[in-house]
Structure 1
Amino acid sequence: MDRIYPLAVPKGRRLCCEVCEAPAERVCTACTVTYYCGLVHQRADWSSIHEKICQLLIPLRTSMPFYNSEEERRHGLQQLQQRQKHLIEFCYTVAQKYLFEGKHEAAVPAALHSLRFRMSVHGLSSVELVPAYLLLAEASLGLGQIVQAEEYLSQAQWTVLKSTECCYATQSLLHRNLGLLSIAKENYEEARYHLANDIYFASCAFGTEDIRTSGGYFHLANIFYGLKKLDLADTLYTKIAEIWSKYLNNRYQVLSQNRIQQIDLLGKRFETDTGLDEAQEAEAIQILTSIWNIRESTSNTDPQKTIFVLKILVMLYYLMMNSSKAQEYAMRAFSLAKEQHLSVNEQSTIEDLLNMISAEEAHPIT
């Protein structure tokens, strides 16, 4: 972490903490343009997002240079806006990833950065602010701060109501977060209403069989599972698994057929493509491992469903280039198939996965 020093605040100038907007007492000495109320918030911001964007903030928070012409000035402003837009998406993705990993406290500073950059680029009442409000609401829910979550969601709802340009994807996320709030308040009827709307809007935006729609199915399935409506939950978990299986297998086929994997001098692939950003990969891991844990608890009654989810996890980690995790789940699937005396064909399919992973690592399977 960068060194931390007290900040001498010039008289007549009020500097605010990056995290809480209280009067600042410290400065990041690496960029000298980011301020904090104290050591705790500086460390929190650093570990969340600041380490990743520290130097990128300097041109955004210092005076623009003198330009010789109007054309140069316009070009400078365009570059500045492009940097801000990049940071909007980068901070958003980082915050999302933290949320899917259950790191709610770490998500807050990154989400705040995304919100501030959005305000700077789009204005204080733009619908473009809504995704950041929703991140902050979800982080607040994860921290047990229901009142704070309600405030962020109210702001998001009000912004959407005032807008005539709110896309289906944003409305989907709004209803998903309203559903999560209702779950936290144990109002399951209202939660089902919002999650049904989440699925509807996501389906309008992406289609019913898209991985971006699967999150709504997942939260709805969790409600049914918690209410012991196991048949409904099972149907939805199966649908989610099928969506991810189709997506990942299609990605693998595309990579194989087009031969776009790159090989280093040792013959190992060093770049592949899940087609997902880091946040989406974290969401996939969260959803699929949750379903696997549920399936594993009932594997004696239907081991095929457990093995199916394990094979999806194998493909996910393989495409993420995490061969050790891919092999771990493949071995679990193979052991379960043998233990449950499943067909030779099923065992052979899993062996093929193990051989694929072993070929990746240039180690023959034993």
Structure 2
Amino acid sequence: MNVIYPLAVPKGRRLCCEVCEAPAERVCTACTVTYYCGVVHQKADWRSIHEKICQLLIPLRTSMPFYNSEEERQHGLQQLHQRQKHLIEFCYMVAQKYLFEGKHEDAVPAALHSLRFRMAMHGLSSVELVPAYLLLAEASLGLGRIVQAEEYLSQAQWTVLKSTECSNATYSLLHRNLGLLYMAKGNYEEARYHLANDVSEIWHKYLSDHYQVLSQARIQQIDLLGKRFVNDTGLDEAQEAEAVQILTSILNFRESTSDTSPQKTVFVLKTLIMLYYQMMNSSKAQEYATRALTLVKDQELDVQEQNNIQELLSLISAEEDRPIS
């Protein structure tokens, strides 16, 4: 491990610890651009991530050199951007690996690095910050730091609410962490609600990917022998039964909860439609498609959503009309 020495801070300049942001008293002598409040946090950061990225930090944390032309300056900025992007992804991957291994303490410094690089690159309110907040929340929950986890999740929720570009995968991770938080706090009803969101997102993603390929194959009649597909879910019977049980439970929960969100109910219905369609159970698929279409019309939801469900119904009807050979 690299040696650190007491830091002489110029008057009027405040340097912060890389781990806790307290006033820094020491500097890493290898890169000379990373500061710590003391030996404990320096060791924690070194063990987690700093050893792997020490030299990569130098060009990011020092002044850009003088360029002879605008073309050279733009090239330098592009290189800086690529370094930032690489460090965001690398630190995130390292933190995620620690979490998979149950090393929550080691995950924190790496996740903090990912968060700060994201802030520097995307700004303080970008949805790109959310994955790092969720890593920090998960690590905090693993360490039993409930209040800290709640703070990170509040930041993630607020950022997601302000954004129109959040992916389903990010929503899923947010709900999973909120579910774990409420379980830790003993609020099992809220935990159940958020974990249901997470599970439905996972199933929707899996089935949607299969559905896209399958629907195109059926439309183009790629089965050259003219036979109907027997099963296209990629799951065995036990897994299909589990999927049906989980998704119908989530649907029942959605429909019975006092603060029902019609958009989320439609989302689960569409997931069930895709599941039954791929299981070759056209009657069940049509039943859920009809329910989804009725709900969309009654709640006057987005016209595009209505068109999507109508398209699903047409595909199901075409499948029913197709002769079995």
Q: Check whether TM > 0.5.
A: yes
Instruction: Name the CA distance, whole Å, in 2 between partners of 1:195 and 1:185.
Output: 14
Q: Which runs of 5+ in 2 are unaligned?
A: 211-237, 244-325
TM-score (norm 2): 0.63
Q: CA deviation at 1:207?
A: 3.7
1:208 shift after superposition? 7.2
Deviations 1:252-286 (A, max 9, x none): xxxxxxxxxxxxxxxxxxxxxxxxxxxxxxxxxxx
The offset of 1:6, in angstroms, is 1.2
Following TM superposition, by how much is the alpha carbon of 1:239 offset from its aligned partner in structure 2, in angstroms?
6.3
Distance (whole Å) between structure 1 residues aligned to residue 82 and residue 209 of structure 2: 33
Give the CA deviation at 1:202: 3.0
SS at match of 2:27: strand
Tell me which residue corresponds to 2:129. 129
Distance, in Å, in 1 between the alignment partners of 2:208 and 2:56 is 39
1:205-354 equivalent positions in 2, closer than 5 A? 205-207=205-207
1:205 Cα shift? 3.8
Structure-2 separation of matches of 1:60 and 1:205 = 37
**What is the rounded CA distance, in whole Å, between the counterparts of 1:204 and 1:77 in structure 2?**
40
Look up the match of 2:274.
none
Tell me whether 1:184 sits opposite 2:210 in the alignment.
no
Q: Is 1:15 paired with 2:12?
A: no
Q: TM-score, normalised by structure 1?
A: 0.56
Structure 1 residues 88, 239: closer, same or farther in 2, change over 3 A? Answer: farther
Higher mean C-alpha displacement, 70-79 vs 123-132: 70-79
Residue 13 of structure 1 deviates from its aligned partner by 1.1
The AA in structure 2 aligned to 1:119 is M
Deviation string, structure 1 residues 5-58 (Cα, Å, up to 9, x no partner): 111112221111000111110000111100000000000000010001001101
Deviation at residue 81 of structure 1 after TM alignment: 0.8
Counterpart of 1:37?
Answer: 37
- Other-structure match for 1:333: none
Moved over 4 A (4+): none
Between the aligned partners of 2:207 and 2:76, the Cα distance in structure 1 is 40
Q: Give 1:204 shift.
A: 3.8
Query: Secondary structure of the equivalent of 1:15?
Result: coil
Larger radius of gyration: 2
Distance 1:85 1:26, change over 3 A: same
The separation in 2 between residues aligned to 1:185 and 1:164, in whole angstroms, is 30
In the alignment, the residues of structure 2 paired with residue 176 and residue 82 of structure 1 have an alpha-carbon distance, to the nearest angstrom, of 31
The separation in 1 between residues aligned to 2:43 and 2:139, in whole angstroms, is 18
What is the CA distance between 1:188 and its match in structure 2? 2.5
Residue in 1 that maps onto 2:47: 47
Q: Deviations over 1:129-186 (max 9, x none)?
A: 0000011111111111101111110110000000011111110110011111122123
Which residue number corresponds to residue 74 of structure 2?
74
What aligned pairs does 1:91-130 form with structure 2 within 5 A after superposition?
Answer: 91-130=91-130
- Letter of the structure 2 residue corresponding to residue 122 of structure 1: H
Q: Name the counterpart of 2:296.
A: none
TM-superposition CA deviations, 1:208-231 (whole Å, max 9, x none): 799xxxxxxxxxxxxxxxxxxxxx
Shift, 1:97, TM fit: 1.0
SS of the residue aligned with 2:83? helix
Unaligned runs of 5+ in 1: 211-234, 241-366
- Partner of residue 148, structure 2: 148
Q: After superposition, what is the alpha-carbon deviation per residue over 1:280-325, rounded to whole angstroms, capped at 9, x for unaligned?
A: xxxxxxxxxxxxxxxxxxxxxxxxxxxxxxxxxxxxxxxxxxxxxx
Match of residue 218 from structure 2: none
What's the counterpart of residue 194 of structure 1?
194
Inter-CA distance 67–205: structure 2 relative to 1 (3 Å threshold): farther
C-alpha distance in 2 between matches for 1:201 and 1:82: 31
CA distance in 1, matches of 2:56, 2:48: 15
Which residue matches 1:160?
A: 160
- Alpha-carbon distance in structure 1 between the residues aligned to 2:117 and 2:152: 17
Q: Which letter maps to 2:199?
A: I
Percent identical pairs in the alignment equals 84
> What is the distance in 2 between the residues matched to 1:176 and 1:147?
17
Matched residue, 1:64: 64
Aligned length: 216
Offset, 1:74: 1.0
Residues 206 and 117 of structure 1: CA distance in aligned 2, closer, same or farther (over 3 Å): farther
Counterpart of 1:89 in 2: which secondary structure?
A: helix
Q: How many Å separate the matches in 2 of 1:179 and 1:71?
A: 50
Distance in 2 (CA, whole Å) between partners of 1:125 and 1:190 is 26
The separation in 2 between residues aligned to 1:48 and 1:39, in whole angstroms, is 14
Q: In structure 2, what is the equivalent of residue 300 of structure 1?
A: none
Aligned mates of 2:242, 2:82 — CA distance in 1: 39
Instruction: Work out the CA distance in 1 between the residues paired with 2:148 and 2:56.
Output: 30
Separation (CA, whole Å) in 2 of partners of 1:15 and 1:93:
27
SS in 1 for 2:21: coil
